[in-house]
Amino acid sequence: MSSLLLILALSLSALTLSNAAGGPALFIFGDSITDVGTNNGLDSMFKADHPPYGIDFPGNVSTGRFSNGFNPADFLAQKLGFEKSPPPFLAIANQSVSLKQQIVSGVNFASGGAGLLDDTKFGSVVTLSQQIQQFQTVRANLTQLLGEAEAESFMNKSIVAISAGSTDIAVEFVRTRAPPTPEFITSLRDAYESHLKTLYSLGARKFGIASVPAIGCVPFMRAANDTGGCSEVLNDYSQSFYSAIDPMLQNLSTELVGMKYSLGNAYQMMMSYLNKPSPSGPTELQTACCGGGKFNGQQPCDGNATVCEDRDKYVFWDLFHPTRATAALAIEAFYSGTSEFVTPINLQQLIEDN
């Protein structure tokens, strides 16, 4: 088969995959909250490719998700009509046919331990800058498949989801043990703006942005706190981060023609639930389902860990990450929530806005 016919065949196959989902493609960037296996093949200290991770994933498979089952990337993908998150870039990058078939449905670039800043990383991770470089490869393949005009139109309709900043904040807190400085928060804001401009230059127009949650309340931080309460200093970082990126996004959307975004206030979502949990949702608000020590927040979630039985009743799965049940609630608030949780429009409005 000639190269032209091969490209046409792949294009038709890929477009069928996309159309079957009934929605736009989904490209995901960020850290461990949305990682679906990027770190599996890396020499990283952050890995979830072993039990009991994935205990509630279809087939009880440890896929590399930092969860007992689906994570926020999966629930977001389901809102777009997919079964689960697009595959990680590194899993398909060396399979040219698979890459071309998959990319029109989307790709997940998120890597556990990655930060907004290039020097924020624990061991071997794919930084956000490197994730965007990987996306450039995908963008080039889209142009090859669809032609420049069609690829541009395709990207304009796609959803680019980003969840980043938690790792940067954690590293800075460990380094200084001090409240956030304006200079540090500004550096995160400026890095975020730069990344968004690069993605925009590659055709991205619709951005779903999740701010940093109340990381001072995760089991690891509760266990490290003598009172057993949340770390108010870390939560100050989360709130300062949101206060910085909110006006940045407002300004950027007026500067960049056609840019639309949905900003989820993950801090507000999390604190609202912790302060007033739903009787039908998770009711264990402090202790992790999987781990050991105080709040199950002092030992990793591995083969030696204690694992709760009723996992859907726990907000936290391990030292840092939400359970499948919590992830589903968070995406629902992001997707259909009011201005208390998401501005200027929610994800549903962003997806449906043509």
**Stated pTM of the model:** 0.92
Q: Report yes or no on 185 lying in a domain.
A: yes
**Beta strands, E only, 188-305:** 206-210, 260-264, 290-291
Residue pair 29/89 in contact by the 8 Å Cβ criterion: no
Active site residue ranges = 32, 318, 321
pLDDT given at position 44: 87
Q: Report yes or no on 285 lying in a domain.
A: no
pLDDT-wise least confident of 137-141, 190-194, 268-272: 137-141
Q: Which domain does 156 fall in, by range?
A: 3-266+331-352
| Secondary structure element (H or E) that encloses residue 306, with its range | strand 306-307
Q: Report yes or no on 280 lying in a domain.
A: no
Q: For position 45, which CATH number holds? A: 3.40.50
Number of domains in the chain: 1
pLDDT at 20 over 50: no
Q: Report yes or no on 257 lying in a domain.
A: yes
Mean pLDDT of 79-98: 86
Q: Report yes or no on 289 lying in a domain.
A: no
pLDDT given at position 19: 35
Q: Report yes or no on 315 lying in a domain.
A: no
Mean pLDDT of 61-88: 97
Mean pLDDT of 176-188: 97
Q: Report yes or no on 69 lying in a domain.
A: yes
pLDDT at 305 over 80: yes
pLDDT given at position 98: 58
Distance CA 15, CA 311 (A): 38
pLDDT given at position 1: 31
Mean pLDDT of 307-332: 97
Mean pLDDT of 129-149: 94
Mean pLDDT of 205-225: 97
Phi and psi torsions of 26, nearest 5°: -130, 125
Q: Report yes or no on 48 lying in a domain.
A: yes
